[in-house]
Structure 1
Amino acid sequence: MGKPRATDWRLVVRTRVERVRADLAALGPVDPLDQESARWREVAEREAAVVDEVLEDDLGRWRTVVVWWSGWHIERGWRALHEAEIAVAAASPGFLGRLPGLVARVAEQLDETDPRRRALEELRPGEFPVGVERAVVVDALRAAFDRSDFAHTGSRALRNKLIAASAVLFLVNTALGVVGLLGPGYLPLCVRPERLAAVCPTGGAASGADVWLVQALGGFGAVLAAVVLLLRRRPSLTPYVTVGYQATIKVLLGASLAVVGVLALGAGVTTGLIGVASQSALLLWAVILGYSQQVATRLLDSYADRVLEQARPLPGHGGEG
């Protein structure tokens, strides 16, 4: 049994739950005429205790794997934190003094036409009874945080799909390599230009290492695209990080496409368009074909960017944690 790990999302959640407790302490004594505020304070303290339980829970090695895949540990902590922040806002006697900040937080998640956002933006202090004003604030904040929490679920589902796809591609590439190793004739990667001797990836005659070499070079070409992805991806505090899995898919898919592309060259599909007259030219095409996976994975990158942007944690009372 070891200590709970210190990860980015834990640091953010820990900072914000401490801010919740600081805001609770700053509220001062309970107004006897506002018992609803007292109830919201109790909710805030209870939810903050749930956050502490999540952060301090030592799951153990095997349970950690299950929790990591299901994501319930992360999402339970975030949902409890959001409820605590909502409760603190509702418990404050002067909660409408924070109206500009509350409107800004809600506007990040809710559309302009959302009635809860519009009601919050149109709220004027003293226009309605305190109970009505508090209900408007709570409903708008809860809707905004629910949108963020549901986005966490979507980003976790995307991460798990990327992991499953990576596993499938790894098995496919391994199977292709084994087949090529056991019988080079099953996957003929040698190209026969007109009036020239056959050109094979490893040089000379067909070899069991042809497939492995082509896959390695295709993976290398995909690494170049993966580096571009890593360089352009801005830092994010989202609970689920997918950039590593996206890069893995690029490399594995590049290896597969390099094999398929070299097979197409050997089959004469590109006759008249692409000429391969030497081993170095064939290996260069393996790299280019590996990089070509970028055409297919660019859509995946754009989709992942949208999902992770939606799952970005909403700022706390004082901004991003």
Structure 2
Amino acid sequence: MADRPGLRDRRRRSAHEKGLWELRESLTSRISELEALLRAKTGRGELPVEAQALADQAFKELEEARSTLRHDHRRRIPAAHLAVAQTRFDVAHNLMLRIASLDEVTAMMPGLVAYIREHLPVSDERRVQVEEIALAIRSGSALHEVQREVVVDAVAVARHSHLRENLRVRSFTYVVYGMSVALSVIVVVLGVLGAMAPETVPLCFRPEKIGVVCPTESDMSEGSRDPDGDIDDLYATVASSWDYPVVLFIGIVAAAVAAATSLRRIKGTSTPYNVPVALALLKLPTGALTAVLGLLLMRGEFVPGLQALDSSAQIVAWAVIFGYSQQLFTKLVDNQAQSVLNSVGGPHSTPGKPTRDPQTPAA
């Protein structure tokens, strides 16, 4: 039986939309709720001409938000859909705050103040004024039209600040993904070149009076202990095309273990940008490269006393250590990631106190 067109559309969207489904559905529900509230207000036919114009524009913004969430354009970024739809919803909600009665805005003040405190710094004058207005309302004063404008303006700025916070997370995530792709390309190229010409820069060692040892091959014959010719020629004969791929793979495995361990320090995020996954992907090619570079440093006697590896097992063991040690470099990226995530409503979430009694005139 053929699928219905609507079902095919939903399947096609689910195949290409990779954003957080929960966030999309949550925003869709909020759009429906706000639309119902606006219809209830406009259905009475009691709105002035100016308020009706604001309501009409709010309906347009909500429809644009729905359209953004519904479309199935494959080339657009799903997380960007949520940001655009959220912006449309915020504009519609601000318009609704201007249409609502002063009593209704007064009832919404606790939530509005909490949102402003979450996204505006304590020193922001708009936040200070809103907190003074909220304190005056708790003291029994009525909300005035001018005060409503102050609250709506502060909410709009707080929403814009929230958008900037999410955009910083998105920018950071894309930078990490870009670096992961670039390092992965380098790993692939290095693995291919190492497999095609392992004798160019061999990962081999020549412990004294033992022979030549490589990650996957070794030569303990009498000729390898006291070679007549160039030692590089001996390395070229023992080096295997599997040396580089094996070391790179071991570095990736060690980095994966380090990534799993480091994720315990990264808090989750409600943003549609998966920062922990981006960080984990960055560690994998980094571990592969540090495994190879670490062995090359040992082969070049960069650390005296650590160049005489006498078995393939020892080389593999050091590759594991160097692959895991990428954490020393990527830890800085982890710290920056946590700082970026904390900035989403984090640094400004400390409640501020009004500088004076709002019912007392300033000196």
The alignment's TM-score, normalised by the length of structure 1, stands at: 0.85
Work out which of the two has the higher radius of gyration on C-alpha atoms and give 1 or 2: 2
Partner of 2:108: 98
Partner of 1:89: 97
The counterpart of 2:128, out of the listed 76, 97, 118, is 118
Q: Distance in 1 between matches of 2:308 and 2:93?
A: 65
The 3-state SS of whatever aligns with 1:272 is: coil
With 260-269 and 11-20 compared, the bigger mean Cα shift is at: 11-20
What whole-Å deviation, never above 9, does each CA across 1:92-144 have from its counterpart, x for those lacking one? Answer: 21202221211111111110000111111011348687331221111111111
Partner of 1:192: 206
The 3-state SS of whatever aligns with 1:185 is: coil
User: Is structure 2 residue 63 aligned with structure 1 residue 49?
Assistant: yes
Partner of 1:285: 318
Partner of 1:253: 286
What whole-Å deviation, never above 9, does each CA across 1:55-111 have from its counterpart, x for those lacking one? Answer: 11121xxxx23x129x64332112112222323333321202221211111111110
The counterpart of 1:21, out of the listed 28, 35, 53, is 35
Q: Distance in 1 between matches of 2:302 and 2:172?
A: 36
With 232-241 and 122-131 compared, the bigger mean Cα shift is at: 122-131
What whole-Å deviation, never above 9, does each CA across 1:235-271 have from its counterpart, x for those lacking one? Answer: 4320222322221110011001100001111111122
What whole-Å deviation, never above 9, does each CA across 1:7-47 have from its counterpart, x for those lacking one? Answer: 24312321322332344356586695866654443343222
With 219-228 and 37-46 compared, the bigger mean Cα shift is at: 37-46
Change over 3 Å in CA distance of 1:203–1:8 after alignment to 2:
farther
Q: Which amino acid letter does the alignment assign opposite residue 272 of structure 2?
A: P
Q: Which amino acid letter does the alignment assign opposite residue 127 of structure 2?
A: R
User: Is structure 2 residue 190 aligned with structure 1 residue 176?
Assistant: yes
Q: CA RMSD in A?
A: 2.7
Partner of 1:294: 327
User: Is structure 2 residue 68 aligned with structure 1 residue 68?
Assistant: no
The 3-state SS of whatever aligns with 1:187 is: coil
- Shift, 1:220, TM fit: 0.6
Change over 3 Å in CA distance of 1:88–1:33 after alignment to 2:
closer
Partner of 1:317: none
Q: Distance in 2 between matches of 1:18 and 1:105?
A: 21
The 3-state SS of whatever aligns with 1:116 is: helix
With 88-97 and 74-83 compared, the bigger mean Cα shift is at: 88-97
With 12-21 and 198-207 compared, the bigger mean Cα shift is at: 12-21
The 3-state SS of whatever aligns with 2:123 is: coil
CA contact (8 A) 2:195 2:241 kept: yes
Q: Distance in 2 between matches of 1:274 and 1:58?
A: 57
Question: What are structure 1's unaligned runs of at least 5 residues?
Answer: 314-321
The counterpart of 1:207, out of the listed 229, 233, 240, is 240
The alignment's TM-score, normalised by the length of structure 2, stands at: 0.76
Q: Which amino acid letter does the alignment assign opposite residue 184 of structure 1?
A: P
Change over 3 Å in CA distance of 1:44–1:34 after alignment to 2:
same
Q: Distance in 2 between matches of 1:291 and 1:16?
A: 45
- Shift, 1:201, TM fit: 0.8
Q: Distance in 2 between matches of 1:107 and 1:30?
A: 35
User: Is structure 2 residue 278 aligned with structure 1 residue 271?
Assistant: no
With 219-228 and 122-131 compared, the bigger mean Cα shift is at: 122-131
User: Is structure 2 residue 255 aligned with structure 1 residue 222?
Assistant: yes
Change over 3 Å in CA distance of 1:40–1:239 after alignment to 2:
farther
CA contact (8 A) 2:252 2:284 kept: yes
Question: What are structure 2's unaligned runs of at least 5 residues?
Answer: 1-7, 219-237, 347-363
The counterpart of 1:262, out of the listed 295, 298, 308, is 295
User: Is structure 2 residue 24 aligned with structure 1 residue 10?
Assistant: yes
CA contact (8 A) 2:205 2:308 kept: no
